[in-house]
Amino acid sequence: MAMKLSVLNLFAFILLRNIIVSRGALLFSPCSSISWNDLTASDSAWVLDSTRRAAAGIILVSQDGVGDTTTVQAAVDQVPKGNSNRVKILISPGFYREKVLVPFAKPCISFIGKDNAKTVIWYNLQADDEDLDGQPVGTYNSATVAVESDYFCANAITFQNTAPAAKPGEEGKQAVALRLTGERSLIYRCRILAAQDTLFDHWGTHYILESFVQGSIDFIFGSGRSLYEKCHLNSIAESYGAVAASQRNNITDNFGFSFVKSKLTGTGSVYLGRAWGKYATVVYSYCQLENIIIPGGWSDLNDENRRSTAFFGEYNCNGDGANLKGRVPWAKSLTYKQAKPYLGKVFIDGDQWLNL
């Protein structure tokens, strides 16, 4: 877990973000929901001329030069600060080697592809790689794509960090494919690929739907409050690994990960979750678990005090890895009543922002 954001840094980030909003330093009224229309583009939208694209709030990215830009970052740069209307960035098939930042001041952006296997944004940066000042970039800045704005959504895109997996005993090899730091994001039918620390679900409320997430150790981690529904989680661990690491440090924090109707496949022996924070919260419901789950299921990250405070639960899962007999005694086999708050969009207050 080395080189990830400290608790102090996370608190400072949230405090600063709230101050910016409350004091009106960014004077915009962002869109207040995400709909299916925000995730899609008709065939005709891809062939509009530049004038009609601009009028429709569309920016076309194409490596052959027929669009508005040839890179994804250049398209994001075209979106005005304080944007309050949905902007659809249509990304033509191609392999885009670049780091992309969607900044806080640019909400309501959609990344839309045609085929997630053919529309790939990739880079290969690890936490111990050096920046221009000769300092390690750290896990936070290793992300291929970093989303810091609210009401972001993506459809049919691959986010990838191609940095190699750590060798035994190596540290500083965290390599994030996608970092979600904004509030109320929807990732739909995307692929998120890396070897270690793949999806930094850093902060905010997120809905990950019908997507493929691949990694080895803590390949979903952070302080987000996120629902992963009908997703495919694939381990590429050579020996042992872990799916989720929840950083919930205070009982009042409304953080945690809920996996619903998802499947877990792959290699190695993996924990369902690890208690990165004292009150870490991870729940699996109606999930299909292959026989790669460590019998104990859950890890306290070498802090026995977390056994009485972490909330690790399973409800009505199936598959060879769903046998509860060997689970650690402090994990929970949930009743329907206990699982209900985690079973759907209610977990992420979806009625307030999802118009699906």
As to burial, measured by CB atoms within 10 angstroms (0-12 exposed, 13-18 middle, 19+ buried), residue 131 is exposed
Residue for token pair 């207050």: 349
Kindly give, in sequence order, each residue whose CB lies less than 8 Å from that of residue 54, ignoring residues fewer than 6 positions away.
none
Taking the CA atoms of 39, 43, 46 and 48 in sequence, report the sign of the dihedral they define. negative
User: What gap in Å lies between CA 233 and CA 213, rounded to an integer?
Assistant: 5
Phi-psi region of 210 (alpha: psi -120 to 50; beta: other; left: phi over 0): left
Residue for token pair 């990830």: 4
Exactly one of 218, 253, 303, 351 is catalytic; which is it? 218
User: What gap in Å lies between CA 81 and CA 104, rounded to an integer?
Assistant: 9
β-strand pairing of 109-112 with 153-155: parallel
User: What gap in Å lies between CA 127 and CA 215, rounded to an integer?
Assistant: 16
Tell which residue, 252, 250, 258, 247, has the closest CA to residue 301.
247
Give the distance, in angstroms, between the CA of residue 136 and the centroid of all CA atoms in the same chain. 23
Tell which residue, 54, 96, 94, has the closest CA to residue 78.
54
Give the number of residues written for the chain. 356
User: What gap in Å lies between CA 76 and CA 70, rounded to an integer?
Assistant: 12
218 is catalytic: yes
Residues annotated as catalytic are 218
